[in-house]
Amino acid sequence: MNTVSEAIKQQIPSISSGTSELDTLQGIFNNQIKGYDRDRYPTFNSRLHHLKQLYKLIDQNSEELTEALNKDFGCRARHETEIAEIIGSLSSIRYQIKNLHRFMKPQRRRTSIWFMPATGKVQLQPLGVVGIIAPWNYSVHLTIAPISAALAAGNRVMAKMSELTPHTSAVLKRLINESFPPDVLSIIDGGVDVSQAFTALPFNYLLFTGSTNVGKKVAMTTAQNLTPVTLELSGKSPVVIAPEYDIEEATLRTLWGKAFNAGQTCIAPDYVLVHKDKLLEFVRAARKAFNTLYPNGLDNADYTSVINKHHYERLTKLVNNAQAHGSEIIVLGESLEKSNKLAPTLIIQPDNESEIFNEEIFGPLLPVFTYEDIDDAIKQIDVHKDPLALYIFSKHKAQTEYITKNVRSGSVLINDTLLQYLQNDLPFGGVGKSGQGKYHGKEGFEAFSNKQAILNQRGLGNFTGIKLLYSPFTAMSKLMQTLIRKWP
């Protein structure tokens, strides 16, 4: 293990060899490796116990976690925390509990007739020590959901939480320490330097959720250890509103998805494509939708703040830049700079020189583009390939199928926004520029497992059919080869 520690120190020169953060990180990792070596295939009852402990921890301390998130954001809408963080986390754990026995059961696989009476199966084997790097935007759920899948799969888990949500990290770390041995599950806090050291550990698997730029660095670091990695990134997720769809309903659902958590959601609608004849109707519908969703404006606890001043100013600069490039700016409410509350804002037809055209927004700003026909809409989406999510509002099955088959995206939601993420039985993840690998559902359990192929050559006494292919080769051997070649 000393060589691992030295390798980390070399990759992260900002951390001196004597710092307690690195020593603590290395110590937890070493203990989890030892824990895995003591019990490499935890029983069903052991895994179930851990999942129930995790469920109880979130369920009984939801109020404390909600208050911590509110402190970190300055204002985090309680109903959004309840839906996305608390209910989302509990639902993820319940799903793993309900399906644990089925997921653990080995899967029978077909064996070629020429190798009978052998039998084949696939056993999902724990990988060992799993690392999880969670972002700040949904710091509870995006920590707990992958933890639940990794524990269900029988692994030891270390989870690094974001330095931008220190209160939430502190609360969850304390609760985990009170409920789990550190060689089973540990929460890691600290700044960017600790995150870099964390990434450099030779985990058996790493899941990262965050920006594309950081994801590229994570991929480069994990490659040094040949650590398999799932990258949950983001990108620019489009909304396509078909001409015949009820524009007011589509706009209401789109604006809800954009304003939820102040747009700080990896699958938030990034931009909207409306038919060229529907632009004015969309703008009118957006004003109406804002008044419906936030009848009392933003100066209350129902609208979430941008995480900090830096990100508030970043978003404001995007608006100013788009306006300088000739875009019409339509602000739907009154922003409150003192509390970092930025009103939902439409940016009409930003050109490709505008920063917002190319950058991930991660806030309540909504560029609006027009298209002439569906092929034109797809062509515009192709400028920002591989979105994490694709939203389509259409009444026609043939139309939705045409779009989904011609746009490569991580997920698709038809006639709504955001909800696909909360479906536990559907895999979640990106493709291409929006990430690699899937989790949630059975895919989450499998992501943290080794698919161990097992062939059992039982034989009849000492005889097996394959012995007919042993040397010395005879006419029977040649006949067997001919048969196998034609009928595998």
Cβ-defined contacts of 414-418 (< 8 Å, 24+): 415/245, 415/250, 415/253, 416/253, 416/257, 416/391, 417/239, 417/253, 417/254, 417/256, 417/257, 417/258, 417/268, 417/269, 417/391, 418/256, 418/257, 418/260, 418/265, 418/267, 418/268
Would 217 be classed as within a structural domain? yes
- The pair of structure tokens assigned to 78 is 């309680």
**Contact present, 190 and 218 (Cβ < 8 Å):** no
Which CATH number characterizes residue 357's domain?
3.40.309.10
Which residues contact residue 43 at a Cβ distance below 8 angstroms, ignoring those fewer than 6 apart?
A: none
**Contact present, 168 and 69 (Cβ < 8 Å):** yes
Co-location of 110 and 157 in the same domain: yes
Query: Partners of 41 in the beta sheet?
Result: none
Co-location of 31 and 179 in the same domain: yes
Co-location of 162 and 55 in the same domain: yes
Query: Partners of 188 in the beta sheet?
Result: 160
Strand order in the sheet with 185-188: 185-188, 156-160, 129-133, 205-209, 229-232, 435-436
| Strand bridging mode 119-126 / 449-456 | antiparallel
Chain centroid offset of residue 61 CA:
24
Would 391 be classed as within a structural domain? yes
Which CATH number characterizes residue 151's domain?
3.40.605.10
Chain centroid offset of residue 196 CA:
20
Question: What residue numbers bound the domain in which 358 lies?
Answer: 238-423
The CA–CA distances, whole Å, from 30 to 149, 247, 397 equal 22, 57, 53
Q: What pLDDT is attached to residue 115?
A: 82
* Phi, psi of 428, rounded to the nearest 5 degrees: -130, 135
The CA–CA distances, whole Å, from 343 to 354, 440, 458 equal 20, 32, 69
Helix (H, G, I), strand (E, B) or coil at 321: helix
Would 324 be classed as within a structural domain? yes
The number of folded domains in the chain is 3
Please return the burial class of 418, using the count of CB atoms within 10 Å of its CB with bins 0-12, 13-18 and 19+.
buried
**Contact present, 340 and 309 (Cβ < 8 Å):** yes
Please return the burial class of 257, using the count of CB atoms within 10 Å of its CB with bins 0-12, 13-18 and 19+.
buried
| Strand bridging mode 229-232 / 435-436 | antiparallel
Identity of residue 255: L
User: How many CB atoms are located within 10 Å of the residue 5 CB?
Assistant: 19
Helix (H, G, I), strand (E, B) or coil at 308: coil
Q: Which residues are catalytic, by number?
A: 232, 266
Using CA atoms, how far apart are residues 335 and 324, in angstroms rounded to an integer?
20
Co-location of 76 and 23 in the same domain: yes
**Contact present, 208 and 239 (Cβ < 8 Å):** no
Would 432 be classed as within a structural domain? no
Co-location of 266 and 310 in the same domain: yes
Co-location of 194 and 244 in the same domain: no
Would 206 be classed as within a structural domain? yes
Would 433 be classed as within a structural domain? no
Tell me if the pTM is above 0.85: yes
2-11 vs 192-200: helix crossing angle, rounded to 10: 130
* Phi, psi of 380, rounded to the nearest 5 degrees: -70, -35
**Contact present, 73 and 168 (Cβ < 8 Å):** no
The CA–CA distances, whole Å, from 365 to 142, 212, 320 equal 23, 19, 12
Would 428 be classed as within a structural domain? no
Please return the burial class of 39, using the count of CB atoms within 10 Å of its CB with bins 0-12, 13-18 and 19+.
middle
Co-location of 285 and 334 in the same domain: yes
Residue-by-residue pLDDT tens, the chain, 488 positions: 333 434 434 443 333 334 577 788 999 999 999 999 999 999 999 999 999 999 999 999 999 999 999 999 999 999 999 999 999 999 999 999 999 999 999 999 998 888 878 899 999 999 999 999 999 999 999 999 999 999 999 999 999 999 999 999 999 999 999 999 999 999 999 999 999 999 999 999 999 999 999 999 999 999 999 999 999 998 899 999 999 999 999 999 999 999 999 999 999 999 999 999 999 999 999 999 999 999 999 999 999 999 999 999 999 999 999 999 999 999 999 999 999 999 999 999 999 999 999 999 999 999 999 999 999 999 999 999 999 999 999 999 999 999 999 999 999 999 999 999 999 999 999 999 999 999 999 999 999 999 999 999 886 667 777 777 888 888 888 888 888 888 76
Q: What pLDDT is attached to residue 487?
A: 79
Dump strand ranges (E) for 277-341: 328-331
Would 97 be classed as within a structural domain? yes
Is the previous residue joined to 427 through a cis bond, with omega within 30 degrees of 0? Answer: no
Co-location of 190 and 303 in the same domain: no
